[in-house]
Amino acid sequence: MTNLSGSNFIAGKASQQGSSTFTSVNPRTRAAGSVRFFNATAHEIDEAVTHAAAAFEITRHYSAERLAAFLDRAAAEINGLGDELLETADWETGLGIPRLTGERGRTTGQLQAFARLLREGSYVEAIIDTALPDRQPAPRPDIRRMLLPIGPVAVFSASNFPFAFAVAGGDSASAWAAGCPVVVKAHPGHPATSELFALAINRATEGEGFPRGWFSLLHGNGVEVGQTLVQHPLLEAVGFTGSLRGGRALYDTAARRERPIPVYAEMGSINPIVILPGAAARRSEGLAEGLVNSVTLGSGQFCTNPGLILMLNEASTRPFIEAVKGKMAGRAPGVLLNEAIERGLTATVAGTQGRGTVETLTGGTVVEGDSFCYANTVLETTGAAFIADGGLQAEHFGPVTLLVVCESREELEAAIRGLHGNLTATIHAEVDEIDVAEALFSLLREKAGRLIWNGFPTGVEVVQAMQHGGPYPATTAPGTTSVGMTAIRRFLRPVAYQNMLEALLPDALKKANPLGIWRIVNGEMTKGEVTSL
Ligand code: NAP
């Protein structure tokens, strides 16, 4: 087993400058871990970002192939951590070895997928409009545009994905792929897991001959580390996954800087599912089973957890609700990640119950015992109450869902029109309900980043076409995604070159297309060389 030091890692070097420490806690037993982790000091934060800025002076010139080699090496080093990584993360999160094994594959897979994206090359979005010297009344200059790396990026690990949205998760992978050094604020829920990742990434950084400031890891179990980090003048962008409160606070801090920077925060989402009467009538059992599986997956601690079910009050509705309630009550609740999540869930469910319009069908309480645990919970309210009270859209981060029963199609449409932004929106319907579904999807499209037909939102594929984002409060940047290959765009900045000498152009924009990438030349997608209009 690796002897963990509890250190921060600043540009490859272990660092313990502060005196304040914390330990991990096993969510199954509440036992404290044996390693003390050092909260990063203001000086360590400054060192990390300063080294990242120095590294960027070098890595901003790296070829796509060189960056791809690092990503492949990082994936190999993570796999090289072996079972120790899985066992450490299981001890710190209670997520279980099978789930963590899958998440490790997803994490290394996304690093490798970004490497393939870089080698294919068109992610730089090269666009060339050649000059029109004879245009009247004035000639048009030659304009060539491409995406270039933005600079040092701060990444905030999420608690609920200790691999895939953490030290070397999607935010870091996409920033590195863009050519940007990364300073990670580790999540205090899994610091030992974070240190193992840091050791692997340090080996990859050194092995590929990258400057040491390419990666740093900072620990912190309070808001100070993150707040100080985001204010650092040499930082250029932030990637965050977590609570609405945390994401919004960091977004506001970044906006108050003398030189504001973008914060790509993925935050609260309740992922509405509309179930039309035909689907509830004809597939009641299977639909209830699928829904309960999705709500309780990972103890409900997914950003895509279906926390809101919208239905019409028809003959099939009550039996379906009874089926959902029975299955939720009959299933043993899982372990929650940490005490803060148990506390937060208790408070948010109590807040919803306290609004006076909500009935608790099952659950609604903490499950007493050694582990952090909350009962599988089904809440119900009316369409009218939901429309009148935006507070009923609060995220309950855990195995909880709120059923909203509407009295008419008009009421259902009004409920959808009043929805806040979400990551996903789903409709379950039968083929003879397609006209209604089409009209409702048209409304839902304004509310979510991913629309799902007869499926469930949990389970987010890492593919080119994935969109994992949505209007506020799902994210602070609805034009972007934090999963899938286009996540790289968050850490790239467009630059146009006007009438530039061929010798001064980047390879991606040169006449002969030496990289052999797809480009849009005078409005046509081509891999060919530039010919004038
Ligand atoms: P969190 O509380 O938002 O924390 C995420 C990270 O941000 C941590 O490193 C945290 O640092 C930092 N942070 C939080 N507030 C901050 C602030 N005001 N200023 C600077 N840094 C700040 O999220 P979490 O611990 O992962 O989970 C807590 C809640 O977040 C859950 O109960 C759930 O509601 C929500 N959540 C949502 C998603 C999603 O994808 N929608 C995912 C995970 C969690 P410290 O912990 O050191 O303070």
Q: Parallel, antiparallel, or unpaired for β 263-266 and 237-241?
A: parallel
73 lines ligand 1 (CB under 6 A): no
Residue 444 counted as domain residue: yes
Backbone angles phi, psi at 37, to 5 degrees: -100, 135
Backbone angles phi, psi at 123, to 5 degrees: -60, -20
Number of CB atoms found within 10 A of residue 402's CB: 24
422 lines ligand 1 (CB under 6 A): no
Rounded-to-integer distance, Cα 213 and Cα 183, Å: 9
- Average pLDDT in the chain: 97
pLDDT at 116: 98
Sign of the CA dihedral running 240, 6, 152, 229: positive
DSSP element (H, E) containing 325: helix 317-330
Residue 348 counted as domain residue: yes
pLDDT at 324: 98
Mean pLDDT across 249-273: 97
Q: Check residue 332 and report its DSSP letter.
A: P
pLDDT at 492: 98
Q: Which of 433, 453, 473 is the last residue of a domain?
A: 453
Rounded-to-integer distance, Cα 332 and Cα 299, Å: 10
Is the pLDDT score of 268 beyond 90? no
List, for residues 479-524, the tens digit of each pLDDT value. Answer: 999 999 999 999 999 999 999 999 999 999 999 999 999 999 999 9
Helical spans, DSSP H, in 218-316: 223-230, 244-256, 277-282, 284-296
Contact 192, 92 (CB under 8 A): yes
Residue 373 annotated to the active site: no
441 lines ligand 1 (CB under 6 A): no
pLDDT at 533: 76
Number of domains in the chain: 2
Do 143 and 122 lie in a common domain?
Answer: yes
Which positions ≥6 away from 425 have C-beta within 8 Å? 271, 272, 273, 274, 419, 441, 444, 445, 447, 448, 450, 451, 452
Do 243 and 277 lie in a common domain?
Answer: no
Spacing, Cα 244 to ligand 1 middle (Å) = 8
Number of CB atoms found within 10 A of residue 386's CB: 25
Judged by DSSP in three states, 456 sits in coil
Percent of all residues in the chain with a pLDDT value above 70, rounded to a whole number: 100
pTM above 0.95, yes or no: yes
Work out the pLDDT band at 267, boundaries 50, 70, 90.
very high
Residue nearest atom 15 of ligand 1, based on CA coordinates = 246
Do 333 and 249 lie in a common domain?
Answer: no
Work out the pLDDT band at 149, boundaries 50, 70, 90.
very high
Contact 151, 236 (CB under 8 A): yes
Do 231 and 336 lie in a common domain?
Answer: no
Do 288 and 259 lie in a common domain?
Answer: no
Residue 131 counted as domain residue: yes
Which positions ≥6 away from 411 have C-beta within 8 Å? 383, 384, 387
Q: And the tokens for 104?
A: 């490790």
Contact 415, 383 (CB under 8 A): yes
CATH of the domain at 198: 3.40.605.10
Residue 31 counted as domain residue: no
457 lines ligand 1 (CB under 6 A): no
Tell which atom from ligand 1 comes closest to the C-alpha of 249: 18
Among residues 44, 77, 195, 266, the one annotated as catalytic is: 266
Residue 406 annotated to the active site: no
Do 86 and 233 lie in a common domain?
Answer: yes
List, for residues 202-212, the tens digit of each pLDDT value. Answer: 999 999 999 99
pLDDT at 265: 98
Is the pLDDT score of 527 beyond 80? yes
Do 66 and 195 lie in a common domain?
Answer: yes
Tell which atom from ligand 1 comes closest to the C-alpha of 246: 15
**What would the DSSP string read from start to end of 26-48?**
-TTT-PBPSPPEEPPPHHHHHHH
List, for residues 302-347, the tens digit of each pLDDT value. Answer: 999 999 999 999 999 999 999 999 999 999 999 999 999 999 999 9
Residue 532 counted as domain residue: no
CATH of the domain at 393: 3.40.309.10
Cis peptide before 262 (omega within 30 of 0): no
The whole domain housing 114 covers 8-22+49-267+482-488
DSSP element (H, E) containing 348: helix 339-353
Work out the pLDDT band at 177, boundaries 50, 70, 90.
very high
Spacing, Cα 82 to ligand 1 middle (Å) = 28
Please list the residues that pair with 360 across neighbouring strands.
379
Do 258 and 299 lie in a common domain?
Answer: no
Work out the pLDDT band at 178, boundaries 50, 70, 90.
very high
Do 17 and 111 lie in a common domain?
Answer: yes
Spacing, Cα 343 to ligand 1 middle (Å) = 13
pLDDT at 152: 98
Residue 531 counted as domain residue: no
Q: And the tokens for 138?
A: 């004035």
Rounded-to-integer distance, Cα 483 and Cα 475, Å: 13
Among residues 77, 103, 180, 303, the one annotated as catalytic is: 303
Residue 2 counted as domain residue: no
Percent of all residues in the chain with a pLDDT value above 90, rounded to a whole number: 99
Spacing, Cα 243 to ligand 1 middle (Å) = 5
pLDDT at 532: 80
Residue 249 counted as domain residue: yes
Contact 265, 364 (CB under 8 A): no
List, for residues 339-390, the tens digit of each pLDDT value. Answer: 999 999 999 999 999 999 999 999 999 999 999 999 999 999 999 999 999 9
Contact 395, 349 (CB under 8 A): no
Spacing, Cα 246 to ligand 1 middle (Å) = 5
Do 341 and 241 lie in a common domain?
Answer: no
Do 214 and 323 lie in a common domain?
Answer: no
227 lines ligand 1 (CB under 6 A): yes
Please list the residues that pair with 359 across neighbouring strands.
380
362 lines ligand 1 (CB under 6 A): no
pLDDT at 1: 82
Q: And the tokens for 384?
A: 């009218």
Do 152 and 181 lie in a common domain?
Answer: yes
- Provide the strand spans (E) within 345-389: 359-362, 377-382
Rounded-to-integer distance, Cα 379 and Cα 496, Å: 53
